[in-house]
Amino acid sequence: MDTLFKNVQQQKQVPLSEKVAKQISDLIKERNIGTGDKLPNEFELAESLNVGRGTIREAVKLLVARNCLEIRRGKGTYVTEELGRVDDPLGFEYVSDKARLAEDLYEIRMQMEPWIAGLAARQIREEEKEELQRRCDAVEEQILAGVDHYEADNAFHKYIAECTHNSVLPEIIPIITYSVQLFTRYKDPALLKSTRQTHRAIADAICAHKSAEAEHYMQEHILGNLQNIEHLRETLNAADKG
């Protein structure tokens, strides 16, 4: 009885479009519609889920907002490559104390990333080594060109996580490296130089399957950034007052 009552209540609270969004997302799984594939059209969906086309349209909008579907104008609705992964999953954009956020993220990176680098050194495959060095090159080129290397930096750290062959780590990296973008704006020449050097040392150690070295250089790299946090805090405080 209790459960029944709960179910009725829950059904009352969930809007129809939300329920249909769930049904569409189940359908994607059942029919094995993969990332990048086209979804059946509105008409077919309305028919197979037995709801109006307006409801389908609302449900599709929900799934677009959640990064599960994308509408390509004139072509139809497609399953995204990201399939439900969102850009800022923990809502960091809304955190007001960005300096504290950066400190907390660095505390986590300090624990996670040396371990990830060591794991990558043990697990990297022969055919991945060239790509790792290429991503290391990309960061270096952007630093030398004096442009913001945030995305290239993220791509480098993310690829190291991919070399671990743990399917979740590459998804966690963008979350914990969020703080990097708070730093790449400062063009402290000393930090930029040490970033280039330690990145290369990390890539070389991973490619040589030297896990202790990979771990050590990653530690050195993150510590270098950590030591700039005080500087960041001062700059942010100054910006708040300005």
What are the residues binding a copy of itself (CB under 8 A)?
A: 25, 28-29, 58, 61-62, 65-66, 68, 82-86, 88-91, 93-96, 100-101, 104-105, 107-108, 111-112, 115, 166-169, 171-172, 175-176
Residue closer to a copy of itself, measured from CB, 85 or 134:
85
* Identity of the residue, 85 or 231, whose beta carbon is nearer to a copy of itself in the bound complex: 85
- Residue among 214, 194, 238 at smallest CA distance from 99: 238
Asked if residue 184 lies in contact with residue 153, where contact means CB atoms within 8 angstroms, the answer is yes
Q: Which residues contact 132 (CB under 8 A, 6 or more apart)?
A: 124, 159, 160, 163, 203, 206, 207
Closest contact distance (angstroms) between CB of 197 and a copy of itself is 27
Write out the two tokens for 98: 């960005």
Nearer to a copy of itself, 49 or 101 (CB): 101
Query: In the complex with a copy of itself, which residue's Cβ is closer, 67 or 235?
Result: 67
Least distance to a copy of itself from the beta carbon of 20, Å?
Answer: 13
Strand ranges inside the chain, DSSP E: 69-72, 76-79
Please identify which residue in the block is written with the tokens 């371990």. 115
Question: CB of 1: closest distance to a copy of itself in angstroms?
Answer: 16
Using DSSP's 3-state secondary structure scheme, residue 79 falls into strand
